[in-house]
Amino acid sequence: MYVTHLECSKTGKTYEPNKLYNLSEAGKPLLVRYDLKKAARTLTKENLKNRVSSLWRYREVLPVVNDENVVTLGEGWTPLLPAKRLGAQFGLPQLFIKDEGPNPTGSFKARGQAAAISMAKELGVKKVAIPTAGNAGGAMAAYAAAAGMEAYVFMPRDTPAANRIECEQLGARVTLIDGLITDCGAEVAKRKEAEGWFDVSTLKEPYRIEGKKTMGYELAEQFNWELPDVILYPTGGGTGLVGMWKAFDEMEEMGWIGSKRPRMFSVQAAGCAPIVRAFDNGWDEAPEFENAHTAASGLRVPRAIGDFIMLDILRKSGGGAVAVTDEEMIADTRVVGAAEGLFCAPEGAACFSGLKKLLASGQVSATDRIVLFNTGTGVKYLEAYGLKEAR
């Protein structure tokens, strides 16, 4: 047992471990804190060489107490690909892609849901519900099935067919909503008490961040404990951004890395760019983005509850935020695909579109060591690539 307490990300108020939580009393995300000195006794760089090839290799800094409650489908420990051909085409000698497509259910949402559903299992939850732009629902449905829980998924009617069909085939009850993920969230919030559902919405539950933070641990380990100069992250709710930053701090506290941090850049779709707008205007929070629209369903999050944490990280790291159009990301899917043999999700391709803009504006230099996150597989987005509605 390594978790000491949970902490409100806004007020710092502490909460006891091993209980079910959604938001803090201040209505903000809760962060899990560990006894990192104790964790560092067994979790060592040396010991990692013999650990499982999944995110559970970082077992001591994951919140589940009893191993029996770990629900796993082999998530994490994904490839960090040197993008040599793409890099050569654009004069970028140190370009890398962290490819999250091989995760269970085809996206990095598997990381967060593996941790959240394992904790829900440990704490006796029988029914889970989620509002989703697509991939989080599929991942939740998968881990809920593996844990023997009932899953209730609420998604916008225009979510890619693959997401909807996947949830149904994984045994979840799917409700389609005429609206955005925020409308789906309102529906879950309205019904959860009466239905006895535990809400696993992005950042409204403390453990998804813990699963996603393992991307930060993996990057450090795969780069032999030297973090890259620049990270481009396609940002919706921001779990990965918040999680990786947390991982960097934890690794520093364990003495694994120094105080140097990558410059973190948030990439969003021009049709839904609340974080970019807030960053550019110097705001500490990101108000709802009106009429949000983009084919990159993972980026269709008009209002993120972790906005203030993300904006702080982008500024502290010396990074920034950049918006790209759907046309740019769809076109760049083929550029990345043909060069690297990797069929990216539009969200992943968006990172490459964003990188070109950051190079042009001088915010990133060609010689930087750059990591793009391909957060999922393009196979789940066939409509975005021209296929007519599957049904």
Ligand X SMILES: *Cc1c(COP(=O)(O)O)cnc(C)c1O
Nearer to ligand X, 305 or 370 (CB): 305
Nearest CB to ligand X, comparing residues 39 and 351? 351
3-state helix, strand, coil in the chain (%, to 5): 45, 15, 40
Min dist. Cβ of residue 295 to ligand X (A): 12
The reply on whether position 135 binds ligand X by CB under 6 A is yes
Helix, strand, or coil (residue 78): coil
Phi and psi at residue 75, to the nearest 5°: -75, 150
Quickly list H helices, the chain. 36-42, 45-48, 84-90, 109-122, 135-147, 161-169, 181-195, 207-212, 214-222, 239-253, 274-281, 307-316, 326-340, 346-360
Q: State yes or no: residue 156 binds ligand X (CB under 6 A).
A: no
Q: Tokens 């490839």: give the residue.
A: 79
Q: Per CB under 6 A, does 236 bind ligand X? A: yes
**239 lies in the site for ligand X, by CB under 6 A:** yes
State yes or no: residue 210 binds ligand X (CB under 6 A): no
Residues 180, 302 contacting (CB under 8 angstroms): yes
Q: Which of 104, 131, 228, 237 binds ligand X (CB under 6 A)?
A: 237
**Tokens matching residue 334:** 């083929």
Q: Which is nearer to ligand X, 56 or 381 (CB)?
A: 381
Residue 345 interacts with ligand X (CB under 6 A)? yes
Is residue 271 at the binding interface for ligand X, with CB under 6 A as the rule?
A: no
Answer yes or no whether residue 347 interacts with ligand X by CB under 6 A: yes
Residue with Cβ nearer ligand X (36 or 264):
264
Taking the CA of residue 83 as centre, how many other CA atoms within 13 Å lie in the half-sphere pointing to its CB?
27
Residues in region 296-325 near ligand X by CB under 6 A: 298
Please, what is the minimum distance in Å from the beta carbon of residue 106 to ligand X? 9
The region of 59-67, 236-244, 287-295, 329-337 touching ligand X under the rule CB under 6 A is: 236-244
Is the Cβ–Cβ distance between 296 and 229 less than 8 Å? no
From residue 223, alpha-carbon distances to 206, 220, 301 in Å are 28, 5, 31
| Closer of 235 and 317 to ligand X (Cβ) | 235
Residues lying near ligand X in the complex (CB under 6 A)? 107, 109, 135-136, 202, 234-240, 298, 345, 347, 375-376
